[in-house]
Structure 1
């Protein structure tokens, strides 16, 4: 997250004005210096520098002249020359506190924080009574994450100047960056008490409120920043992010676009804009924007490919191979020999890397594995690439032997940490999704590397040895479209676990309502015009039926209207559409299934968590099988539960199954009554058996590596 530290203007050396005479003066050097000061005070720094240089030519031993020239050069954007001037001033006068301070400011502006800190310390040793020096030292220490030392500096600055709003501001920033949000609120509010127009304080207050989930109040703070400082690019980005989080997608897009007018080269804003377009269902528009960028390495273009109807599995894999060639293979030169003990039957260290150890779809499927690992045979290390945690994070953490929050570590540092931890098998749970660390895997910090669960196709990386999958999503013979060796679980590669408390299954809604309600809770990005045509066919055949759709994106009224218009063109009236956005809790989200008789899977990107949740709530889900992994996840889940009659292999069969179910209420009632029990008894929810099979697979990988002495070259 970006850091905004308040900038204290350098205190310029004051000089008494010397009288200007028309005769040649023995004090001409001082006159020239004073002329330079006059120009500098008017902001004419190039002219000022000329006078300071003339003064130095006459008297090169005057430290003050070199200091003043340094200031003029700094203001002209010439930091290297300015630093040389300050250093010359200090050579002439080692006790020149102001020159040390100006030197520190210039180093700070160049992000040379260690050098800046040393200069500020020298200035403080010479003159400890200037609050700004302690403040700026605190700021550069904070930039180096030395929070305790930074706070000590702020305390000394406050003792010297207790009414300086910037000191309170930076105190608050330090607290926020440490996750001490209550303290941060207190300090930031104090800053605003001294200066209500301090935009940086409103901005940081908004960041704290956003972290605490007080999104409406965060919006108020960001809007106050814009009123005070409309050209503040970060605030437009943050405001857009809040609107995106709330599902107000049209407003989010508007503010991302405003942010880009201020910082058009910010790839992070481009990425956020594209992710918002995806949430709106505008996948192709997002893809075109990404292709228009000259630099694409930080944009999740590969994930987008899975949403597009027209691409073949081979075309998707080819794009992943290009990623490997451009970004991963150049890092192969950093790979070092692995010195792990090659004993086949010893206790193994398994490392899981993910940004999704929290309330996230991945957590539903990784928790039963972490909960059932045999800690006598396996030592579990989780590398969590996210700043925030919740009750799911804490629960997952309790299953691990070691927990490492790695979000602040660079790829180089994280790879070194994993190697230092002597991980034997490193498992990627993200693929190319948000928060991925694949370029850590490109450095091969562990002898065996695996990808699993979080991404619906090959990563493309030749440094990842295996991909955990199953025979449904990846049938035999598809090895050519994998950079990894597929290892197929005996049943589904999904292993699902529900939260502790869930609503009971209710009777079939159609019995009381007198009509069938179809439903889909999938991410709106997984929906598309071809899928809507299928759903419209179903609705037109099944008299009086309705369609309930639920997604965060529907918080945006513009999207609701667009959705209704699309179905109107297909002959389905708005009265037959029930549109809902996010529920306030998982429990209430699951309760919404009480309104649905039959679930409709998305295509070509199937649901996984949504399908499992629907089945748990007694709602059968009809899926359409395609060629690629993403369009075969429904096949994997339904096969594991024994519901093969809900699997369609053509669009016509998809419609036929939906209509058949809608016309057989007795069967739907019976299925609804037994579905939860049937699911619990299936391999899909047998966490113990699944984990034992996975551990046996890990052991086989390890035994094979132990028997291999050949040095592998990655190409």
Structure 2
């Protein structure tokens, strides 16, 4: 028996020796195939070796690394776990297992492997920079940067460590420093695709869009099928207003990876902009299926529900996004605008959420020392206007009249244009300025520096919290006096903004203590230029035999309370019709949904006319078919209210509980139509029914109204501009006296 056992052991030993010899011959071939970029061949040879020697460490390690490079994460993890079990003190194998776990998003397990590798081999730079990447994903960016710095200290020419360090700096908003790290990586390896990609990300954050595009293009030249780069280039194109190019990049990214989150979210945002709500919802839900903690997806899903009028669900999604990331600015902004549309939200709630932006974001921004200025109260003042809407946009229709009628002997006008989009309106705005600054590629710090260099005395925000705003610049306080005006007209919540232009109706005295800014009254919260070439039109009711109401507003302003009240009015006037005009109504999904809401209230479909996108001239011409306009609430009309009045079509308005729900009432009263403004639903219906019952009086008002508007202090743009300038001079005198 002993003889047989010894014989078998001898035979096994001989067989093992033979297998090891075969392995020693095969392994160099596998390594050569791997290094030559033939992973399938390398893995096949590894399989041959492991069939002979299942516990061959070097082969398992090579197989794991090869699989890791090719994204075969199951195989990589399995092979590397076996390798580490065989040689638990091999630092390189531990480091590579950590990388495999990192790629599987099991970051805590990855950290433990990487830290074990570093403990065994403190100068293993691959493990150090890998640990830095893991720590960044674990929300420990300062420790991540320290790990990359240790790797760089050990190997100063290690391009990957510089690249990874740059990536760790991005979430800390240290973009300029990140760019330096990426540049260092590229100086060591000019074809380092990840460093080129990182440089693009940093440049987006710095608003250096041309640099970002060049970096992404270079990265794609190195690796044309880099999905993340395609997605981020799409995001960049979208920010630059190049929507077709953005969609092409999103489509290319999603063709390669249908679950790529940046591309899906970019596609969702683009779809919302184009009022294609159904595909936007689908894209958001695909992201949430794979990442339920995506605060961006929850926020854009909220935007989708808001567009459909489901404000309660939209607000729930925004609140969830803020639970996930309390300082997520896009979610706070979405909440600000959602509350503007909520029927029961009042001044206190509106200003509270604006203060929330300040507390979570604005207050964290370092404020500049008070700039030195000549405190002569009567000298020529430099007024700086900051906006992304010096273009064809409703906001430009509001502030352009003031720019055009400035007294340039008393005021020097500097416009800081923060959008890449330019058109005919841009040229009109530019013509009003003494100095024009293309600021769309300036970071907040760079724009702040430029405003200080320009010696701006009074800096005016024209956006509020609307898209493209530069409120972080105003948080830095680069000018002695700061004002918010016209673009949003609801206050900002920033204590660094001194004044807010409003009017006594839009912001009544009892509510003013709630604002961060000091309220200054103009004749109305906004004005607009008179309509060019408009000729009075006869009252449609006289030829139609019935009253036609008009709602020429965004359909997301058509709240359920407003629609319910309009349906009640139309039921009381069974021959009446309603015309609703908005570009979003070109989307059948939204149009059919709006009509269905009226039908659910008993209004026949044939009594409702929906009109979509048109030129502004065509838009204005449609007022010839309207007897009276119905102002929506709680989010009122603004420019649309002025357009209706200037066209001779009076507006029924109801005063609400906030600036957003009182603006139209303020405008209507400012032109002398006090009897057209009410404070409750019954009054709203009574006004409309009374006017519908006296067509002769309504026809007379229609003929007289354009002249009434033009002669009012609110509608006469020259008078309005003088009132604005009186405000600026008062603000400056107060500032000088405060010294």
2-side partners of 1:102 and 1:179: how far apart? 17
Q: Tell me the equivalent position of 1:542.
A: 573
Aligned mates of 2:162, 2:720 — CA distance in 1: 59
Task: Give, in angstroms, the shift of residue 342 of structure 1.
Answer: 0.9
After superposition, the C-alpha distances for 1:534-554 in whole angstroms (9 at most, x for unaligned) are: 211221122311111123333
Q: Do the aligned partners of 1:462 and 1:484 also contact (CA within 8 Å) in 2?
A: yes
2:676 to 627, 646, 654: 646
Q: Distance in 2 between matches of 1:575 and 1:237?
A: 38
| Aligned residue pair count | 626
TM-score (norm 2): 0.74
Distance 2:200 2:568 in 1: 60
Q: CA deviation at 1:206?
A: 6.1
Aligned-partner Cα distance in 2 for 1:410–1:624: 42
Give the alignment's Cα RMSD to 1 decimal. Answer: 4.2
Match of residue 261 from structure 2: 233
Residues 350 and 424 of structure 1 are in contact (CA less than 8 Å); yes or no, is this contact kept in structure 2?
A: yes
Structure 1 counterpart of 2:738: 708
Structure 2 CA distance for partners of 1:482 and 1:505, relative to 1, 3 Å: same
Q: Which residue of 1 aligns with 2:336?
A: 302
Deviation per residue, 1:584-621 (Å, 9 max, x gap): x2222222223322110112222111111112222221
Alpha-carbon shift at residue 394 of structure 1 (Å): 2.7
Taking structure 1 as reference, are residues 115 and 67 closer, same or farther at Cα in structure 2, changes over 3 Å only? farther
Distance 2:62 2:396 in 1: 64
* Residue number in structure 2 paired with 1:121: 187
Q: Is the partner of 1:334 in helix, strand or coil?
A: coil
Note the 1:71-82 alignment, pairs <5 A: none
Query: Is contact 1:469–1:487 with CA below 8 Å preserved after alignment?
Result: yes
1:40 aligned onto 2:65: yes
1:679 partnered with 2:709: yes
Q: Alignment partner of 1:549: what SS?
A: strand
Q: State which of 542, 552, 555 in structure 2 corresponds to 1:521.
A: 552
Does the CA-based 8 Å contact 1:15-1:34 persist in structure 2? no
Query: C-alpha displacement at 1:328, in angstroms?
Result: 4.0
Decide whether aligned partners of structure 1 residues 440 and 32 sit closer, same or farther in structure 2, where only a CA change above 3 A counts. Answer: same
Aligned: 1:404 with 2:434? no
2:610 to 579, 586, 589: 579
Could you tell me which residue of structure 1 aligns to residue 308 of structure 2?
280
1:429 equivalent to 2:445? Answer: no
Classify the secondary structure of the residue corresponding to 1:613.
Answer: helix
Note closer, same or farther for the CA distance 1:545–1:424 as it changes in structure 2 (3 Å cut): same
> C-alpha separation between the residues in 2 aligned to 1:444 and 1:238?
33
Tell me: CA distance 1:227–1:449, structure 2 relative to 1, closer, same or farther (3 Å).
Answer: same
| Counterpart mapping for 1:240-319 below 5 A | 240-293=268-321, 294=323, 295-297=325-327, 298=329, 299=331, 300=333, 301-319=335-353
- Aligned-pair distance for 1:205? 8.3
- SS of the residue corresponding to residue 738 of structure 2 reads coil
Tell me the alpha carbon deviations over residues 657-696 of structure 1, each in whole angstroms, 9 at most, x when there is no partner: 2112222222333333333333233323322222122112
Q: Secondary structure at the match of 1:653?
A: helix
| Distance (Å, rounded) in 1 between the aligned partners of 2:150 and 2:509 | 68
For 1:354, the equivalent position in structure 2 comes to 387
Instruction: Give 2:111's aligned residue.
Output: none
The 5-angstrom pairing of residues 424-503 of structure 1 reads 424-489=457-522, 491-498=523-530
Structure 1 window deviating more from structure 2 (261-270 vs 469-478): it is: 261-270
| CA displacement at 1:52 relative to structure 2 | 7.3
Which residue in 2 is equivalent to 1:93? none
How far does the alpha carbon of each residue in 1:569-589 deviate from its partner, in whole angstroms, 9 at most, with x for none? 322111211123332x22222
Taking a change above 3 Å as real, the CA distance of residues 531 and 271 of structure 1, as seen in their structure-2 partners, is same
Query: Measured at CA, do residues 676 and 179 of structure 1 come closer, stay the same or move farther in structure 2, by a change above 3 Å?
Result: farther
The offset of 1:107, in angstroms, is 4.9
Q: CA deviation at 1:367?
A: 0.3
- The match for 1:558 among 579, 585, 589 is 589
Q: What TM-score comes out, normalization by structure 1 length? A: 0.76
1:436 Cα deviation after fit: 3.0
Aligned to 2:101: none
Distance 1:108 1:513 in 2: 69
Structure 2 Cα separation of the partners of residues 450 and 211 of structure 1? 26
SS for the counterpart of 1:357 is coil
SS state at 2:469 partner: coil
Aligned-pair CA distance for 1:399: 1.3
Does the Cα contact within 8 Å between 2:567 and 2:603 map onto a contact in 1? yes
Distance 1:123 1:464, change over 3 A: closer
- Structure 2 residue runs of 5 or longer lacking an equivalent are 1-32, 47-55, 69-75, 94-120, 135-143, 170-177
User: Are the equivalent residues in 1 in contact too, given 2:200–2:213 (CA < 8 A)?
Assistant: no
Kindly indicate which of the two structures has a greater share of residues assigned to helix: 2
Are the aligned partners of 1:352 and 1:382 in contact in 2 as well (CA < 8 Å)? yes
Q: Which has the larger radius of gyration?
A: 2
**Distance 1:360-1:264 versus aligned 2 partners, 3 A rule:** farther
Report the CA distance between 1:213 and its aligned residue: 7.6
What's the CA shift string for 1:154-213, capped at 9, x where partnerless? xxxxxxxxxxxxxxxxxxx96883799xxx8xx99x979x97x77578758866986898
Greater mean deviation of Cα atoms: 228-237 or 627-636 = 627-636
Q: 1:329 to 1:103 in 2, by over 3 A?
A: closer
Distance 1:284 1:503, change over 3 A: farther
641, 661, 682: which one pairs with 1:631? 661
Quick check: 1:209–1:215 contact (8 Å CA) kept in 2? yes
Give how far 1:475 is off. 3.2
- CA separation in 2, counterparts of 1:239 and 1:391? 29
Q: Note if contact 1:317-1:458 (Cα within 8 Å) is conserved in structure 2.
A: yes
CA distance in 2, matches of 1:549, 1:589: 11
**2:492 counterpart SS class:** coil
SS in structure 2 at match of 1:673: helix
Q: What SS does structure 1 have at the residue aligned with 2:341?
A: coil
Give, in angstroms, the shift of residue 37 of structure 1. 5.0
Matches within 5 A, 1:405-420: 405-420=438-453
Structure 1 residues 120, 74: closer, same or farther in 2, change over 3 A?
Answer: same
State the partner residue of 2:396.
Answer: 363
Distance 1:74 1:613, change over 3 A: same
**Whole-Å separation in 2 of the counterparts to 1:315 and 1:505:** 42
CA distance in 2, matches of 1:263, 1:507: 58
